[in-house]
Structure 1
């Protein structure tokens, strides 16, 4: 670029155009003032001469001018011709000059773009930035387009958190009327959020509200956390998130009055302040169901309403009841029935009376559903998210819910659902416009456990397999003492219904962590899952597996030696699950129930009934700063033939404060003191999670917990009675001996996953138990 002529894009071109326009205007002004010129209102040219053009045909320029030889024209028409030629964007200068019977049009063409290059960029790649610009090589150079491209590049850096970035477009003139376009970029530093604060909040602390926002404060982990970058557009999303947060908690008058962003003194960060007005939190008052239609009995719809007096008001609760009532109307064959929620405000007691009125909706039908933008995903995957089909009565609420279901698939970067008038006034067309995104992932991971050591995992998953909305995954893992692989395939909408068909297969070979024997298991299991209530689902399955217990140490228990060998299992089972979090009606609380049974004996070598149950609940207290949780679990195996094996029994490794296989029945007379597991277990876990006062972007919180539980009962106890014996007078104690542990936990939400550090102390244990005061695990709830 050294000897080449370069300069600010458009500066010379603009000056030249202005000069040409000025000359043309002066010429016309003088022409009209000369003697005889004032009376000449029209001109007629025998010929039109075009000069200066190299690439553009003269006939094309004459077409832009719109003046034909022999056509009478006036001064205004000549000016219009000048403007049309200039507006074509092909010419840097245009001069129109009448000379007797000839009209001369002199043009100077814009050069063509030889190449486009980007300099100074390090954070963003050339290919990504070139996809943003509209200017292209071998096309006509346009100063306006290049200036617009510079703005688009600056916006791309702004989205990446570098609002201080500047883009300067320059040109380098080449031979044959060509130019190189160069975008010189000064990236600047990342514009971070130094502080997020709120004004006007009383019900919730700044710390709690920061967790709602998508924008985060900068911290020590700013090199890994990119959400602390300042992006102006993200603030609009944050405003809506705050509004949804407050309204779901009854604050119907909540407003975001303003959002201010101030630049720090060093100009490398922002201080963002949300000025809000909370208002008061309202509860639901009197709830009634009425009908404005004589043929509709309101009493028949009362049972479908789930709004209750005293509940915290939430738009989601109201929408849920409206949907229930409208669905009942459809089930009863009542079309075009709409539910209009009429709300009466009671400021004195801070309640909202809600009247659900059954009214007649407009007689509008769905003409068709048009889907665009899906290059991989099949139309039927999107269509099955609609409960409405062509010809059905049009229900705006159902269309909105269908749009949410489409977005929830996770297949699309953008999904817009709009309606427009159809071929008649009583017809609508539903337009679905989607932008697809990658749905497959290839993962290479590492894990570490105090007992299991280092492990490596390689996995592939695809949530939209072949564009059919099916799920497929394959995972292979290897550790210091185990090798495993798993396969899973799922069809979420069998026969176009809310019916999920799945197939799983597994293989695992291990030395059972701290045990003195090896196991090998493999199996296959088809299953089918379907809803039986709004929050309840039932899963039915069949499983065939082969399990082998081998290489039992000579110093191990005689019980384990007797269980050596392989056997086949053939079992059917079911799982019922209930999760109130699915509806999302209460953002502060949730209840989860699971009940599972497997019956073995339909072929194979084993016959038993295995039962497991879990009940968990959590809620937020103290202005939602603290989450308290209680989880109760239990299980038992009833053998119908023979005795249970170590691969069948429970070991209660979910109880914190103990080593793997560290509690429960144990053969103390064996040199290895092997853990044997038990046919029954019970466990209660109580937890409280709370902030530690550290910045939220660090992702570090604390918790207190207490676990109480036991595992007991064996079919065969060598050396003593089955129950009620002690260590002193029998080999194995399989009695119900409760253990209790208290502890403190540190939760760290890291880029590689949520980690949990447990520091524990056993309050009650048996002398043969193996406890542990520290553990590092992946954080889970229930």
Structure 2
């Protein structure tokens, strides 16, 4: 027992002596100081010694502690300039030994095929022949991974690696494993009662993956797009009367395999409201409420929509400016009638703040001229400031299509009563050169070459050149347009076209040349008027003489005598003045289930021996029913060519193709030569088209829907028969035809395709019906 106690005492004594020795040794180390007469830097090649000494922060003769030396070394390491740093005291000399980061010899990408090297290089911040930075390399790795995520490949793996080269150089290589596309497999909705999932999906920018997922990129998940889709859903519901609609949640989940996203929008629709009582009141003495009530378009019983209120406010403010009331503001005050599901609206005219626009500053436009952007403002320097007008100007700038991004903001100017409008844009390519092919049952296959520039020389001018070359038809068109002619809301354009046909289903050839300058300007909110002059030349050549059967003496393949008579007159030049008036309810950009379109045009022409008036018109309506899943369309189109002097020719008269009257070949109906069966065309035509489009129950991502239609109409009246007798022409009077059919619509990346399957209901013996037609257009 005594021996055990003695051993414990000895062990305790040795521990105390050891601890005391450590404390004695540590005390002078922590308190040790240095003073250096010389500081020597070793290992630096590109970085100046003075730069290193300034970052070190230790001067000659300065007394420093060991802790201070350690802090100085850490400061050098933190500068990011060196791969290794050593600070070594050697008597009165301080040695600073560094190893600089190498210089990047080249930057390479390995394993990438979906995104090209030049695209990846654009997101990388590291630069060849600059110092390599591991921190920048990590940022570059994240940027490359983000680029792959935007392309739908969230599982892409990016690893940076360096390969050492002589002379302290390295190759920076990003090793990429792209992985597969993470698609949006399903978009679903919870809480929607009034509209189907199919209809709501059509509102979204995000799309489900479909059959053509290798081409379509809208089916990949982009987080920023979800917020846009959320607002688009709210706007859709509110434009249809659901004033309290909101999206309460958007649930985004990856599948267990991490190869697809599942997106669910939770919707609260609320009640559907109509407008009730509509009033205009005024707190401004010179603003008569009755006068301003006349420009209000909202009517009691109309489905509520914020867009219609905004349109009314714009009209009221525009009227106030015309009446010299510059600072009038409109407050839409809405009161609810929950029992009648009505929203009573009061447009209160109140004095606005007296704030002026000091100036408009534009940045970011390297190519586009300032005046092109300024032309989208209805406000100029010195005008009263109107926040709503500035918002609309921003939308007009974005709608130009010249910029990938456009921000318009307002800030206080040099005085409290002035603001500066800042416009910051990011330009994008506006030109295109394409080669492709067209196909239609009317004209067959045509090769197409097209050049288009929407912002020619940065002036906002449009330039378009198009060449189509088919077996029977060749077409050359050129168009130049100035959308702000004379710095006004006036589109000035020059159009040129040249078309030749070689026996395109006929027994003769034609040449047509047309040159037409025009001016187009608004005459109302939805109305546009175009006035134009046209110089045109038409000629009929190579009329088939036919061949004579030596046995029977019968002539075969001979064109109609009327065509011979018209060709004998030679080529004809005509001068014409005309107008085209169009009215389209969609011009106000209000998304409504029902839309109307109307077009009326007339051309007053004078030829060498003729005077004529050509009139054409179109009226159409479209509406969505049954939760907007089914679309109904109706249109009435017609034309009449009246010759005051002279007579029409086959190059002037109307022919109906499958785009105008489905179920018939081009020149398939209308007046015909009774002997040769040549189509002669008519001076008048009229067609009524009734159509419906509906879902087929297929997944919406396939882009396939169905339709049914009925067409009824005719083309008639050849006019002057020349050497023919009335009995020599068939169907010269109004002889109605009717066709019924079903359609298959397919929305593809190369454009919408339409397949029509038809059956004639009313048809004449010599007509040329067809049971199937397709329109295909593609570019490559």
Q: TM-score, normalised by structure 1?
A: 0.89
- The answer on whether the counterparts of 1:459 and 1:473 sit within 8 Å (CA) in structure 2 is yes
Describe the SS at the equivalent of 2:673: coil
Post-superposition offset of 1:90: 1.1
CA distance in 2, matches of 1:71, 1:512: 101
The 5 A counterparts of 1:686-725 are 686-717=690-721
The 5 A counterparts of 1:295-694 are 295-511=286-502, 513-554=504-545, 555-564=558-567, 565-601=570-606, 604-653=608-657, 654-668=660-674, 670=675, 672-694=676-698
After superposing the two structures, state which structure 1 stretch, 554-563 or 97-106, moved more: 97-106
Post-superposition offset of 1:460: 1.1
- The answer on whether the counterparts of 1:363 and 1:393 sit within 8 Å (CA) in structure 2 is yes
Corresponding residue for residue 223 of structure 1: 214
CA distance in 2, matches of 1:263, 1:152: 22
Please state if 1:147 is matched with 2:151: no
CA distance in 2, matches of 1:59, 1:489: 63
Larger radius of gyration: 2
CA distance in 2, matches of 1:649, 1:222: 46
Post-superposition offset of 1:557: 2.5
Post-superposition offset of 1:437: 1.3
- The answer on whether the counterparts of 1:718 and 1:732 sit within 8 Å (CA) in structure 2 is no
- The answer on whether the counterparts of 2:561 and 2:723 sit within 8 Å (CA) in structure 1 is no
Post-superposition offset of 1:139: 2.1
CA distance in 1, matches of 2:269, 2:56: 63
Which of the residues 278, 281, 291 maps onto 2:282?
291
Change (3 A) 1:345 1:87: farther
Change (3 A) 1:579 1:77: farther
Post-superposition offset of 1:531: 0.8
User: What do residues 327-375 of structure 1 show as CA deviations (whole Å, max 9, x unaligned)?
Assistant: 1121122222221222223333222222222222222222211111111
CA distance in 2, matches of 1:204, 1:44: 83
CA distance in 1, matches of 2:541, 2:620: 37
Post-superposition offset of 1:32: 12
Which of the residues 107, 111, 114 maps onto 1:116?
107
User: What do residues 681-733 of structure 1 show as CA deviations (whole Å, max 9, x unaligned)?
Assistant: 111101101111112222211111011101122323589986xxxxxx66433
CA distance in 2, matches of 1:231, 1:769: 54
- The answer on whether the counterparts of 2:30 and 2:66 sit within 8 Å (CA) in structure 1 is no
CA distance in 2, matches of 1:240, 1:63: 55
Post-superposition offset of 1:199: 1.5
CA distance in 2, matches of 1:135, 1:586: 47
Post-superposition offset of 1:82: 5.1
Describe the SS at the equivalent of 1:534: coil
CA distance in 1, matches of 2:503, 2:591: 42
The 5 A counterparts of 1:12-27 are none
Post-superposition offset of 1:54: 3.8
Change (3 A) 1:630 1:420: same
User: What do residues 530-560 of structure 1 show as CA deviations (whole Å, max 9, x unaligned)?
Assistant: 1111111111111111111123334332222
Change (3 A) 1:177 1:584: same
Describe the SS at the equivalent of 1:556: coil
Corresponding residue for residue 4 of structure 2: none
Describe the SS at the equivalent of 2:743: strand
- The answer on whether the counterparts of 1:719 and 1:731 sit within 8 Å (CA) in structure 2 is no
CA distance in 1, matches of 2:94, 2:761: 105
Post-superposition offset of 1:740: 1.1
Please state if 1:125 is matched with 2:116: yes
Describe the SS at the equivalent of 1:543: strand
Describe the SS at the equivalent of 2:378: coil
Post-superposition offset of 1:581: 0.6
Corresponding residue for residue 759 of structure 1: 757
Change (3 A) 1:47 1:637: same
CA distance in 2, matches of 1:356, 1:447: 53
Post-superposition offset of 1:184: 1.0
Unaligned runs of 5+ in 2: 1-21, 546-557
Corresponding residue for residue 776 of structure 1: 774
CA distance in 2, matches of 1:393, 1:33: 78
Corresponding residue for residue 184 of structure 2: 193
CA distance in 2, matches of 1:507, 1:524: 9
Count of matched residue pairs:
740
Corresponding residue for residue 3 of structure 2: none
CA distance in 2, matches of 1:96, 1:610: 95
CA distance in 2, matches of 1:205, 1:31: 84
Instruction: Please tell me the root mean square deviation across aligned C-alpha atoms, in Å.
Output: 2.6
User: What do residues 207-250 of structure 1 show as CA deviations (whole Å, max 9, x unaligned)?
Assistant: 11122222222233222222222333332332232222222222
CA distance in 2, matches of 1:302, 1:146: 64
Corresponding residue for residue 16 of structure 1: none
CA distance in 2, matches of 1:360, 1:77: 68
CA distance in 1, matches of 2:734, 2:166: 93
Which of the residues 748, 752, 767 maps onto 1:750?
748
Post-superposition offset of 1:300: 2.6
CA distance in 2, matches of 1:380, 1:253: 41
Change (3 A) 1:122 1:76: same
Post-superposition offset of 1:292: 2.7
Corresponding residue for residue 13 of structure 1: none
Corresponding residue for residue 16 of structure 2: none
Corresponding residue for residue 34 of structure 1: 27
Unaligned runs of 5+ in 1: 1-28, 723-728
Q: TM-score, normalised by structure 2?
A: 0.89
Describe the SS at the equivalent of 1:563: helix
CA distance in 1, matches of 2:203, 2:104: 48
User: What do residues 105-149 of structure 1 show as CA deviations (whole Å, max 9, x unaligned)?
Assistant: 554433332322211111111121122111122222222211111
Post-superposition offset of 1:97: 6.7
Describe the SS at the equivalent of 2:635: strand
CA distance in 1, matches of 2:67, 2:374: 57
Describe the SS at the equivalent of 1:658: coil
Post-superposition offset of 1:742: 0.8
Corresponding residue for residue 156 of structure 1: 147
Post-superposition offset of 1:657: 1.3
